[in-house]
Amino acid sequence: MTAELSAAPRSGPWTPRVVLALAVLAAAAFVYVTAEIMPVGALPAIAADLGVSEAVVGTLLAGYALVAAVATVPLVRWTAAWPRRRIFLVTLISLVLSQVISALAPSFAVLALGRVLCALTHGLMWSVIAPIGARLVPASHVTRATTSVYIGTGLALVVGSPLTAAMSHVWGWRLAVAAIAAAAVVVLVAARFVLPPMPMPETARGPGSPRIRHHRNRLLVAMTALTFVGVTGHFISYTFIVVIIRDVVGISGSAMAWLLAGYGVAGLATMG
């Protein structure tokens, strides 16, 4: 990624088009993360509708994470020479198809299959979204641009998850998934017309590029392992947070959306 950023052409100041492009990237992050964690708030509704246990529905997140972990590295290597926008659009198309399949799923198996499609390109999307944002601005503004992109991730916890939880309770989980699909279509169209193609520089494509040598960096490997442990622990508890609060505290229904929003706000506060 270092070679990709250093060799990439930079734009001038933060023009309205650059701001719009960063907003599109942030919106993509928001929609993708909202789709990923959507079963958390809708877990009871999905279980009741498809006739499976809540524990089984909880495996949707575990399966999603497993598929993403296995598929990311091969897909990143396979698409290494692709223009960044093409990769980004492919991941959004995958997200749209995934949500359409999920919304229409007649069984849990089909729902799980739909989420697999989204999970396949999950890591691929995250591998390009920050570099795309960085290449839109001067080198001195890379940190600011990257932070702007990741605002979408925080909003998914504060707004996306609570909103889909409330929609699932009031109108059903399928409508919530359909809303995610519609939002993804809007982001896809916007990305196609707002983002430049961004071909990869030649220095980042060869076998000796920094991108290929990352696995030899012991510090990076150690940090990756620690991140894996932390994220795993987080999602083990977060997956069933709605069920735990319902059974232990006695809160359910639309009130749960406010608790999920509070959870997201607390997460953003600790990041500061």
Domains of the chain (ranges, CATH numbers): 12-271 (1.20.1250.20)
Sign of CA dihedral 187, 43, 127, 154: positive
Q: How far apart are CA 181 and CA 167, in angstroms?
A: 14
Model pLDDT, residue 178: 97
Instruction: Find the mean pLDDT for residues 7-28.
Output: 79
pLDDT above 90 covers a percentage of the chain that reads 42
Q: Is the pLDDT of residue 81 over 70?
A: yes
Q: How far apart are CA 63 and CA 116, in angstroms?
A: 8
pLDDT bracket for residue 158 (50, 70, 90): confident
How many C-beta atoms surround the C-beta of residue 236 within 10 A? 12
Task: Give the HSE-up count for residue 151: Cα atoms under 13 Å, Cβ half-sphere.
Answer: 13
Q: Is the pLDDT of residue 211 over 70?
A: no
Instruction: Find the mean pLDDT for residues 17-39.
Output: 94
Q: How far apart are CA 95 and CA 88, in angstroms?
A: 11
Model pLDDT, residue 121: 94
pTM exceeding the 0.85 threshold for the entire prediction: no
Q: Which of the pair, 169 or 86, is modelled with greater confidence?
A: 86
Range name among 134-138, 183-187, 214-218 with the lowest pLDDT average: 214-218
